[in-house]
Chains A and B, each alone.
Chain A
Amino acid sequence: MPTVDDVTNEQENPFTTGRSVRHILAGAALSVPVGIVLISLLVLWLAAVLSLLSAPTGGAMLVATYVTAAITLPAAVLWFALEFARTHRERFRRSFSIDIPTPRLTWKGAGRHLTYHLIALVVGVPAVFLVLVPSAARRYAKADLEVARRLLTPGPYERLTQRVASLAQSRADVIAATDAERRRIERDLHDGIQPRLMALAMNLGMAREALAEPSPARDAIVAAHEEAITTLIELRQFVRGLHPAVLDDRGLDAALSGIAARAPIPVELAVRVEPRCPPSVEAIAYFVVSEALTNIAKHASAGRADVAVLRQDGRLHITVSDDGCGGAAMTPGGGLTGLARRTASVDGTMTLTSPTGGPTILMVELPCA
């Protein structure tokens, strides 16, 4: 009686006897001609090289032929080895629906391909006798797959390179998705809750104007009106912090005026960003300045702050400094740690100098090629 596990295993396990047998026979049928051709090419090449080395007799034509052969035959061997490695990959795909990734063209890779063809010839062809013993055939097919996975696939360096590239891509995608999500939330609030709340505040405002005489009802309406207005202001500040629409529309310089103006201390702003950076970099730069100014307002007891944003040599340099008490540090879960994380997410760097007694200087560099 098969258990559930067995059933799933059987569905997942592609190494059935029938497939294994077909795989082995196809492998042998492919390996014999490929092996013969490859060996002939190699022998021809050796012969050409040896003749050249042992000072060839005969005319200049013959020497020219040897030289041409010595040069072109390795290329032919390589082409042949790579081309028929594709056929082998196709064989694995058809037999077991397993994809064997193709490496880039390198000398090492070519050597490993040749090794596979050699094994396929020397071991794979005699292995046709294993089809008589189903369990051995299945085991051999699995072993063949292992060998192919070692020899026909990209090497560790190439695999890491590919992995790094795909991680960089997926990280960029995640950042872009986060930005898009912030924009969507901003848009939703702008179109939904904000106008609703505004309509409420307007109605309360009209009611307040209509009730001129002091009364408990008027007091209640006045209180509700003030409350609605305060909520509107808080919501507006929250929503603008999410993702200011003017950032997309007019860029960093325009968007930074808003946060500089809202800071409780005087802020000097110098922005030179031409041409504009990619949207994800603009968004991070905006949050760096926003968070830095929030931090200064909360902790620095500063009298003033300076913000400089400059695009130079494919990098965006952001400097936020204040004349406050210093002693700023990155604490787990703190605002500065969040900034460092967002900066790192685009391969940017962040340095913080904040001796006790000040001044505090935060420098962030973002690549924006």
Chain B
Amino acid sequence: MRVILADDSVLIRPGIVKVLTDGGFEVVAAVEDAEQLLRAVEEHKPDCVVVDVRMPPTHTDEGIRAALTIRRLYPQTAVMVLSQYVEERYANDLISEGSGSIGYLLKDRIARVRDFLDAMRVVVSGGSAFDPEVVAQFRVRRNTDPQDRLSAREHDVAALMAEGRSNNAIAEALRISPSAVEKFLSNIFTKLDIPSTNGTNRRVQAVLKYLRR
């Protein structure tokens, strides 16, 4: 799978390239700002971009804006956004486009190499992978929402699904049986009004609906 990396830090860029390469990804370009990223995407049409949020020139949310542009121009390209801090507001921007193939993780997570590569694969195959920290921030917002209809356990399951975990991984994390997970999932789909005939990935639809305010 062909990947483009955008990160302005010369200290980390080679490390991420190595992690991705060792994990079986082909890094076709590694650039240092959003402008170069957009040009490289146009040139290489990669399967996935990995992009840092804070990049030159203003070091605020360049990566988010670049990610949104890529979503709009190249909907087939998966986007993995990395950042030293995750913010619910940025995640909200990312899911506003309403499609899967999106990840938003703390940069620290790359150090857990295998977990990071798993998340990359989830995102490239159309799923979503949101950092537990950002999911927790969404839950704060949900707590305040009187419209919220999910039970506490359903929240736990939905949160883990948003992190990109498989049913088995969710079952393991919550110490419940896989069939119990299935039951919670079907409750979540019903409560969030995800139609069963929907051709696109129901999990992705549920995650986006769960996270969106």
B18 at the interface (CB under 8 A from A): yes
Give chain B residues whose Cβ lies under 8 Å from the Cβ of A261.
88, 133, 136-137, 139-140
Bound: A198/B133 CA distance, A:
18
Is B84 a contact partner of A236 (Cβ separation < 8 A)? Answer: yes
Contact B54 A250 (CB under 8 A): no
In the bound complex, do residue A257 and residue B85 qualify as a contact, i.e. CB atoms below 8 Å apart? no
In the complex, B141 has a CB within 8 A of chain A: yes
- Please name all residues of chain A whose beta carbon is closer than 8 Å to the beta carbon of B137 when the two chains form the complex: 257-258, 260-261
Q: Which residues of A contact B107 (CB under 8 A)?
A: 198
Report yes or no: B9 in contact with A195, Cβ–Cβ below 8 A.
yes
Q: With A195-B11, A232-B108, A245-B60 given, is the CB distance from A202 to B85 under 8 Å?
A: no
B175 part of interface (Cβ distance < 8 Å) = no
Give a binary string over B1-32; 1 marks a CB under 8 Å from any A CB, 0 the rest. 00000000101100110110010000000000
B106 within 8 A of A: yes
Contact A208 B113 (CB under 8 A): yes
The answer to whether B19 and A202 touch across the interface, beta carbons within 8 angstroms, is yes
Q: How far is the CA of A245 from the CA of B63 in the complex (A)?
A: 14
Give the Cβ gap from B120 to chain A, nearest Cβ, in Å.
14
The chain B residue with its CB closest to the CB of A267 is B140
Name the residue among B18, B87, B112 with the largest chain A CB count within 10 angstroms: B87
Q: A202-B16, A250-B87 are in contact. Are A262 and B136 (CB under 8 A)?
A: yes
Q: B114 within 8 Å of A by Cβ?
A: yes
Inter-subunit contact A257/B88 (CB<8 Å): yes
Q: Does B144 contact A (CB under 8 A)?
A: yes
A296 to chain B, nearest CB (A): 15
Task: Please tell me if B192 contacts chain A, counting CB pairs below 8 Å.
Answer: no
Specify which of B108, B110, B136 is in contact with A236 (CB 8 Å cutoff).
B108
Interface flags for A215-246 (1: CB within 8 Å of B; 0: not) read 00000000001001100110010011000111
Q: How far is the CA of A255 from the CA of B15 in the complex (A)?
A: 30
Q: Which chain A positions have C-beta within 8 A of B144?
A: 268-270
Asked if B9 contacts A191 (CB within 8 A), the reply is yes
Q: Which single member of A208, A229, A232, A269 contacts B140 (CB below 8 Å)?
A: A269
B180 on the A face (CB < 8 A):
no
B residues in contact with A228, CB < 8 Å: 111
- Distance in Å from the Cβ of B25 to the closest Cβ of chain A? 14
| Residue B59 at the chain A interface, CB threshold 8 Å | yes
B12 close to A198 (CB less than 8 A):
yes
Within 8 Å of chain B (Cβ to Cβ): is A199?
yes
Q: How far is the CA of A199 from the CA of B11 in the complex (A)?
A: 7
| B198 proximal to A (CB < 8 A) | no
Q: B143 an interface residue at 8 Å Cβ cutoff?
A: yes
Give 1 or 0 for each of A255-299: 1 = CB within 8 Å of chain B CB.
101101110001111100000000000000000000000000000
Residues in chain A within 8 A of chain B (CB atoms): 187, 190-191, 194-196, 198-199, 201-206, 208-209, 225, 228-229, 232-233, 236, 239-240, 244-246, 248-250, 253-255, 257-258, 260-262, 266-270
Sample of 13 A–B contacts (CB below 8 Å)? A191-B9, A198-B11, A202-B18, A206-B19, A209-B113, A228-B111, A229-B111, A229-B112, A236-B84, A236-B85, A254-B89, A257-B87, A261-B137
What residues make up the interface of B, taking CB atoms closer than 8 Å to A?
9, 11-12, 15-16, 18-19, 22, 54, 59-61, 84-85, 87-90, 106-108, 110-114, 133, 136-137, 139-141, 143-144
